[in-house]
């Protein structure tokens, strides 16, 4: 997979991950989102957030298991796309459901569990996006930066819980189960890797930056 190291790969991946947002904008302006376009837009943006999150968490297993070290260079950009789609998802809720009335939003968030956990997940993503650059690594120090960015696992758990509670009203859990199984498997793989690390300096080695 040497082609993964080609300079054109990052721009191509960038454009590909912009296409869903571009299509949704086009569909909204051309009345292609069905009978309830606001709900379709909110849910589609949430779906793309989850897909991007799954892909970010897949980077290390693929890099290690398949021997594709070049994938590591795409992880930061993919992580920022998780934040991008999650931000659009939250803004769509604030706009179409709440009309950008911030007093109503502040009152609504704690009243509805799925909105609360989704907002908490977005706030964690905000912190991760704000500290995803090299200057933040130097400022925080590598160890603290790694510990902070392991909270992506908490984001994954909150995302699945958000999705579960959102679908609970309609008793529609099939898609939730798929995402939960995928994310659970990816997190389980990381736990297995962490537990099998040899003891170093009297303690179990921590996950390195490249194994996030």
Render pLDDT for 20-43 as a digit per residue (tens, 0 to 9). 999 999 999 999 999 999 999 999
Q: What's the pLDDT tens digit per position in 142-186?
A: 999 999 999 999 999 999 999 999 888 777 789 899 999 998 898
- What pLDDT is attached to residue 212? 52
Q: Band of the pLDDT at 5, cuts 50, 70, 90?
A: confident
- What pLDDT is attached to residue 202? 39
- What pLDDT is attached to residue 209? 44
- What pLDDT is attached to residue 8? 92
Structural tokens at position 147: 């510990």
The more confidently predicted of residues 34 and 2 is: 34
Is 205 a residue whose pLDDT tops 80? no
Query: What is d(CA 89, CA 95) in angstroms, rounded to the nearest whole number?
Result: 10
- What pLDDT is attached to residue 15? 97
Q: Which helix (H) or strand (E) holds 203?
A: strand 203-204
- What pLDDT is attached to residue 207? 38
Q: What's the pLDDT tens digit per position in 182-201?
A: 988 988 888 888 888 764 44
**Structural domain count, the chain:** 1
Q: What's the pLDDT tens digit per position in 64-114?
A: 888 888 888 999 999 999 999 999 999 999 999 999 999 999 999 999 999
Could you tell me if 94 and 100 are in contact, meaning their C-beta atoms sit under 8 angstroms apart? yes
Q: What's the pLDDT tens digit per position in 122-139?
A: 999 999 999 999 999 899
Tell me the residue range of the domain where 65 lies: 2-211
Could you tell me if 45 and 82 are in contact, meaning their C-beta atoms sit under 8 angstroms apart? no
**Closest listed residue to residue 162, CA positions, set 88, 104, 109:** 109
Query: What is d(CA 2, CA 170) in angstroms, rounded to the nearest whole number?
Result: 46
């Amino acid at each position: 997979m040497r082609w993964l190291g080609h300079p054109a790969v990052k721009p191509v991946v960038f454009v590909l991950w912009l296409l869903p947002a571009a299509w949704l904008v086009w569909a909204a302006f051309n009345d292609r989102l069905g009978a309830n376009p606001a709900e379709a837009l909110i849910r589609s943006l949430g779906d793309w957030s989850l897909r991007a999150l799954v892909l970010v968490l897949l980077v290390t297993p693929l890099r290690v298991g398949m021997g594709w070290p070049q994938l590591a260079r795409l992880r930061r950009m993919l992580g920022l796309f998780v934040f991008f789609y999650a931000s659009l998802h939250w803004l769509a809720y604030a706009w179409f459901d709440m009309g950008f009335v911030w007093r109503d939003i502040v009152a609504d968030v704690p009243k509805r569990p799925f909105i609360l956990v989704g907002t908490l997940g977005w706030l964690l993503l905000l912190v991760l996006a704000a500290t995803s650059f090299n200057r933040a690594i130097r400022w925080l120090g590598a160890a603290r930066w790694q510990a902070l960015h392991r909270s992506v696992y908490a984001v994954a758990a909150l995302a699945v819980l958000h999705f579960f509670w959102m679908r609970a009203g309609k008793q529609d859990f099939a898609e939730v189960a798929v995402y939960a199984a995928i994310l659970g498997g990816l997190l389980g793989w990381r736990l297995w890797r962490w537990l099998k690390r040899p003891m170093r300096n009297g303690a179990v080695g921590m996950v390195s930056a490249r194994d996030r």
